Structure 1
Amino acid sequence: MARHYELIHPKTHLRVLSRYEIQQLKDVSSRTHELLRRCSYAVLSAGSQNDDYLELEKEYKDFNIVVDQEDRGVILRLTGAPASAFVDNEIIRGVREQLFSVLRDILYVDESILKAHRFNLNKSEDITNAVFHILRNANILQPDMQPNLVVCWGGHSIAPHEYKYTKDVGYQLGLRGMDIGTGCGPGAMKGPMKGATIGHAKQHNRSGRYIGITEPGIIAAEAPNPIVNELVILPDIEKRLEAFIRLAHGIIIFPGGPGTAEELLYLLGVLSHPKNQDMPYPLIITGPEETREYLMDIDRFIGDTLGDSAQQRYQLIIADPVAVAIEMKKGVERVKEFRRNSNDAYFYNWSLTIDHEFQMPFDPTHENMSNLQLHKDLPSHLLAANLRRAFSGIVAGNVKADGVKRVRKHGPYQIHGDPSILAGMDKLLRAMVDHGRMKIRGDYQPCYEML
């Protein structure tokens, strides 16, 4: 039940704004105001188990946020905010901090990245620099820390036994001093963080980091979970993915849906680039025993599309959280040695080559989805880039506002390509549907057709 709340003051950062920034945020017709409104509502809805965009849109309709400047600094006035964000009429501290993180990132990206013309966002080097500046402005980059950040990817819609497994893995990582980064939503994004909090507590580690990395198109359907203590919003999915892999010292992938497949394909495509062949980058795919068949489907799909060389870039470990944590710890030590010997930063992987194809935002219109080149004669890293785009479009059609509206208006996306590639995609997607990995609640209606 939503109620009327107002007068939210910052306690930590972004206490003052310019008159120009205030005006931008007050202009209800501006893109900036709508971004702030949508992302703020997502943060206030933390813990929601609803990923149905159409239902969320109804709840969101009565919400509004107004930014004012008073003598004491910034103040937020909220109308129609979810009651779950408050305790005894006081906003939860973690929610307050995430709310002002949203304000910080939206203003910085709009004024210092998109409008300032400091970066040519059609050039690879400038895109990488823009991602760096966004992360630095959010205070995510910590130059004095040793390598210990493990990024965990996985589905937001998973069964209870899978969620428990992600917590068990997070617990083992926490015992070994690893911090956790995820897409910040529910399911396999929340589980590792929750497990790591216990591991950190047992080791009396009071400085554990639980970094959530998201973007405006997906935050409404995957609201930040309440464990996230450092939130950053990148402007689009491609910059979000680049932020993940340049920050991470290793990555663990749990069973998930098309979003997880998109992330895996992105990373394997980057690691398949000839310039990255010798770079240590620990990558583990894991899940409980009940997911063995599904994980083997993913492994076969990678082998059939990207080949043996891509399969060599990851370890497949099933039903063994301790082994996952031990192998990841070893891998992070190799990363540390490599970075030290190559004089690269511990906090941002500058040496990683990311092809321009992986950095340019993909707009999943019906035409763009139909025109994707999914052919075996493409170099493996470029085929991975196009496969990533195909899964990105399916994510959009499932949960993103623009994608859901497009599919409702024009029907399912049509995907073309080599029969063997499409057959593998179709088998994997059907397995996702059968295992309930597309949607938290309700029956799933496919937003795609394989032709």
Structure 2
Amino acid sequence: MELENNKVLIRPAGTLQILSKHEVAQLCDHSDKGLNELLRQCTLAVLNTGSKEDSSMALLSAHPDYQIHVNAKGRGLQVEIDNVPKNAFVNGEIITGLQEHLWAVIRDLIYAKNEILEAKEFNLEDSFDITNAIFHFARNAQLLKSGVSPNIVVCWGGHSISLDEYKYTKHVGYHLGLRKLDICTGCGPGAMKGPMKGAVLGHGKQRYTNGRYIGLTEPGIIAAEAPNAIVNELTIFPDIEKRLEAFVRLGHGIVIFPGGAGTMEEILYLLTILMHPENQNLPFPVAFTAPESYRNYFDSVLRFIELTLGASACSKFEVFIEQPEELADFMSNGFERVREYRKNNSDAYYFNWKLHIPYEVQQPFNPTHENVAALNLNRDQPPHLLASQLRRAFSAIVAGNVKQDAVQMVAEKGPFHIHGDPEIMREMDNLLKDFVKQKRMKLGDAHYEPCYKIVTE
């Protein structure tokens, strides 16, 4: 790495030393069809790991002179970066983990564009092909490990949490690590970082040297949840729906900590799948957990789920309050059932092929004012379909909070209007008000201005 006049020159290691001239041109293309602006946004977020900012617009505004260029040299690839944030350096060198994350950004943006989104190999209007595309994407990122028994715990939860909550997530991660379980999260701060940090200690005590700390993200969310420094396998999926499907295809069970709108989006996505008639017999352990001081959080969440989707939806979760050891045993025992099921049904340990995910759930939801207003948030449909519609409502709120395009739309047209069954709307409004009061919607202590309006009449 060379550093001169606030300009960094880096040569990637491994296979990224070799890119075609076409791929280099795509990475340098500033047009709407090119990848440079997306590359700029994602790499800036990566190099700002540890930042207290969760808005891509604010991050770009704070670093207006940040630029990245990719050059094909005679001896391979060279990346030139102008005005790298100072916190990315130690003694004049970019931190090794951040360099690895940079290469993951380049790898995934190129693969997504050329092999998934624009290639004719996958028909993204077909459910099976979408799942195949996700498999290929994960394989290209080397996430699929054959010959390993189920041991990946997906951890979901908020990026804006209290210190007590963060310490608890580390405690849970520690006990998962003692059982030699690997951790997969949305890769950001808060409840996404804590379990990984705890697992590092648990793995160390067990002399488990191949610990995996997998981070799954997507371009629209990466600034809000910039990869934390512990992530050693970062993958950037093309959109939120493919990211969510990757979580449930790669993970063998899920632990959910308190969070905000994004966590509710994930919970409702999971219910959409687990309540589907074709998935009733698939073992997939899921647990809610929190410290004692935040017991009321899941009381509110379960109340919302029961009043909107029914008591059977609540039965999909086990609740562990201030019980990290019991939770870790629950996941470990659940993984044994997953192993037996997949062995008996000749399904891969590393990718859950048998899980049924409907085509409409796989389709990217574009959170425009018109699309949000058109959501069917009424009880005239099966519960798993209502869960899917509710998931999209929360997805729109996440987008309006942190994603650049949606933030601009809200600034120009006002908040999203969400309406439906009056009782569901009242419960949704109450839940969101709790999230705002608990400062779960955005990082920091600044006043939160809702990007949504719940129509309760």
TM-score (norm 2): 0.97
Q: Secondary structure at 2:15's aligned position in 1? A: coil
Aligned partner of 2:206 in structure 1 is 203
Counterparts of 1:59-74 in structure 2, within 5 Å, are 59-74=62-77
Is residue 150–residue 249 contact of structure 1 (8 Å, CA) maintained in 2?
Answer: yes
Residue of 324, 336, 339 corresponding to 1:333:
336
Counterparts of 1:26-425 in structure 2, within 5 Å, are 26-29=28-31, 30-425=33-428
CA distance in 1, matches of 2:319, 2:15: 42
CA distance in 1, matches of 2:107, 2:63: 21
Q: Secondary structure at 1:200's aligned position in 2? A: helix
Is residue 47–residue 225 contact of structure 1 (8 Å, CA) maintained in 2?
Answer: yes
Q: Shift of residue 32 of structure 1?
A: 1.3
CA RMSD of aligned residues (A): 1.2
Q: Shift of residue 262 of structure 1?
A: 0.1
2:17 aligned with 1:19: no
Offset from partner CA, 1:154-193 (integer Å, 9 cap, x none): 0000000000000000000000000000000000000000
Greater shift, 71-80 or 236-245, is seen at: 71-80
CA distance in 2, matches of 1:111, 1:105: 10
Matching residue's letter, 2:450: P
CA distance in 2, matches of 1:344, 1:184: 27
Residue of 436, 444, 450 corresponding to 1:446:
450
Q: Shift of residue 285 of structure 1?
A: 0.5
Offset from partner CA, 1:58-114 (integer Å, 9 cap, x none): 124211110011222111100011111111111111111110010000001101111
CA distance in 1, matches of 2:269, 2:34: 28
Percent of pairs identical after alignment?
Answer: 55
Offset from partner CA, 1:391-432 (integer Å, 9 cap, x none): 000000101101111111111110010011111111110110
Aligned partner of 1:435 in structure 2 is 438
Matching residue's letter, 1:11: A
CA distance in 2, matches of 1:13, 1:424: 51
Q: Shift of residue 5 of structure 1?
A: 2.9
Matching residue's letter, 2:454: M
Q: Shift of residue 47 of structure 1?
A: 1.1
Is residue 162–residue 287 contact of structure 1 (8 Å, CA) maintained in 2?
Answer: yes
Offset from partner CA, 1:257-288 (integer Å, 9 cap, x none): 00000000001110111010011100001111
Offset from partner CA, 1:126-176 (integer Å, 9 cap, x none): 110011110000000111211100000000000000000000000000000
Offset from partner CA, 1:352-371 (integer Å, 9 cap, x none): 00011210000000011111
Q: Secondary structure at 1:375's aligned position in 2? A: coil
Q: Shift of residue 219 of structure 1?
A: 0.2
Residue of 8, 11, 18 corresponding to 1:9:
11
Q: Secondary structure at 1:75's aligned position in 2? A: strand
Matching residue's letter, 1:117: K
Matching residue's letter, 1:277: Q
Is residue 55–residue 403 contact of structure 2 (8 Å, CA) maintained in 1?
Answer: no
Q: Shift of residue 17 of structure 1?
A: 0.5
CA distance in 1, matches of 2:67, 2:196: 30
Matching residue's letter, 1:448: Y
Q: Secondary structure at 1:152's aligned position in 2? A: strand
CA distance in 2, matches of 1:27, 1:439: 32
Is residue 12–residue 97 contact of structure 1 (8 Å, CA) maintained in 2?
Answer: no
CA distance in 2, matches of 1:348, 1:73: 34
Matching residue's letter, 2:215: G
Offset from partner CA, 1:201-227 (integer Å, 9 cap, x none): 000111100000000000012110000
Q: Shift of residue 14 of structure 1?
A: 1.3
Q: Shift of residue 49 of structure 1?
A: 1.4
Counting matched residue pairs gives: 450
Is residue 357–residue 382 contact of structure 1 (8 Å, CA) maintained in 2?
Answer: no
Q: Shift of residue 122 of structure 1?
A: 1.2
